Structure formats: structure tokens, C-alpha cells
A = this chain, B = another copy of it.
Amino acid sequence: MEEQFLQNLSETEFIEQYQKTEKDKYEKPSITTDMVIFTMDTEKVSDKRKKAEKELQLLLIQRGGHPYKGDWALAGGFMGIDEDVDTAVQRELKEETGVDGIYAEQLYTWSAVDRDPRMRIVSVSYLALVDQGKLPPLQAGDDADDARWFTVKDTVVESHEEQISSTIRRTEEIELEMTSGEITVSATIERVTVTEGTNTKTTVWMKKQDGIAFDHAEIILYSLERLRGKVNYTNIAFNLVGEEFTLPDLQQVYEVILGRALNKVQFRRHVEGMVLDTGKEIKTGAYRPSKLYRYNSAWVHDQWK
């Protein structure tokens, strides 16, 4: 089909012709979604006088077939030809968790040529957060699709910086470890950032990968860093607590995400405009009851700030 011929047609005729002769001229990749679904688990503590600790958990699914058979992967799936990525994500989130209207935000699109051994797959990753209280009781024995919640921990095991004339090279080695009961999967990721003037180039390298499928360790690490970055200036953390919550609980959510203790006064000042006092209280132990708050929908922030 000659380009010239196509361009002399009317737009309607052009599109008709295009779909007949041009549409599938080149090989196309498949599009999938990969969802990093986090929840904040509250451990059941037997000692009533002690406060329950929280931990960040993430949903992984054991692969039943090749490739990476037996390894654990992020939830996700192929985008249908008549749905957009956001719709696909909401559909899959519902399928995986049984919850409707989960918070999900597009993270990054991964397109390395060899990221899937079967064929060319471009994947749009999403960060999703769900309140544990809304989840149907995920049974330990729900082996229908071998989905499990894993606690996540990322540790910087090494980090150094060297300067060769005007070039600065920063190297970081990060270990990602996820555990669910007796199962532990892990990966070691090396990230090298070379800065020359304004120009910065980051290369990521999977040094070790044990029980995690595809490039999902990299995606998980990326989502963890995004989550941490957004906690302080958005309302993202509120997606991990219920409608009503106490400030000590909310603070713990922040602390678990950031991986460090926060100052109580400063924390309360920080969230002051974001919460509304419900007037209610809740007794959780042998001490002063906490006030119950809810999210203040009128709170605004710049989309980027």
C-alpha cells in the first residue's frame, strides 16, 4: 500500500483502508498490568496490655505455570483490547482482593526487551493501597490461586560514592526480602547512578533473585520508594486505615512506611488539617482512650507540590 495513495483519501476512507492494510504491518507487544498491592497488617498480640505492632504487607501470587513456575509474582494480567489500563487494573484488583474501588495510582511503564521470555511484554505498574479492615478474611488455606500477603523489608546493604574528575558515581546495593509464614523470597538489586553535570543516568541491575518472578523485585522496590516519598505531602497513607482511626494508629502507619519513629507533637501538627474529630473515643487498653478521627475530604494539596 502506497503512502501517497492513502493520503489522498478522505479521513473516513483512510481509516478504513488503514485498518485493512496497515494496522498489523509491524509486530506489536502485549500490554499487561502489574499491581503492587499494599495493606497495613495489625498483628494480633496476645498480651492485652501491649499495643499491637503494624507491618506493611504486599500481595504476591504463586505462578502455577511457566515461566518462573513456582516463583512469586505481582498480581496483574493482560489488558483487553477494548479496555484501558485503569479499567483493567480495577477489574483485576476486584478479582484479586474482592474489594471494590481500591486506591490505585499509575507508577511506571516497564519495557525492557527481555523482561518476559515468552514474548515482548510492556507492563504498566500500579501502586494500590487497601485497608485491611475491608479485606475479606484471607484464609491461610485459600489455595485457589495461591495468593498470599508478604511482609516487605528493604535494606540498603551497601552504599558508596566515588568521584572521577567531574563524574560522580553512586552505587547502592539494596536487599529486598518478603516473608509469608514459612515462605521467604528475596532479591538483591544494585543501582548505579552516574552524574556528569546535570546529566544523571541510573542503571539497575538484578544481582540475585530468589523466588521472585520476572523484574517484579525492581517494581516492588520502586513502589516502596514512591510510597515513602508521597506519604509526607499527600493523603496516601489514609488509604491504609479505616474510615475512623486514632492518631496513634495513623502515626504508626506513617512510621512503618517511613521506617523510623516520628515525633508525636510534630506528627499531630502535620496531619492537623487533614483530619476531623468525630467526637468519639475508643478504649484499646489499660490507659487513656484515644479520640477517633476521620479524613477531612476538604483537605487539598497540590497534585505535585
Contacts and interface: CB of A to CB of B under 8 A. Distances in A.
Interface of A: 3, 6-7, 9, 11, 14-15, 18-19, 22-23, 26-31, 64-67, 69, 78-79, 81-86, 101, 103, 106, 108-109, 111-113, 117-120, 122, 124, 163, 166-168, 195-199, 225-226, 228-230, 235, 238-239, 243, 294-295, 297-298, 302-305
A52 to B, nearest CB: 22
Nearest to A241: B198
A7 to B, nearest CB: 5
B166 A297 contact: yes
Contacts of A106: 108-109
Nearest to A237: B198
A117 B14 CA distance: 10
19 contacts: A11-B66, A14-B65, A15-B66, A26-B30, A26-B81, A31-B122, A79-B111, A103-B198, A103-B199, A163-B298, A168-B297, A168-B298, A197-B295, A198-B238, A198-B239, A198-B295, A198-B297, A228-B304, A229-B304
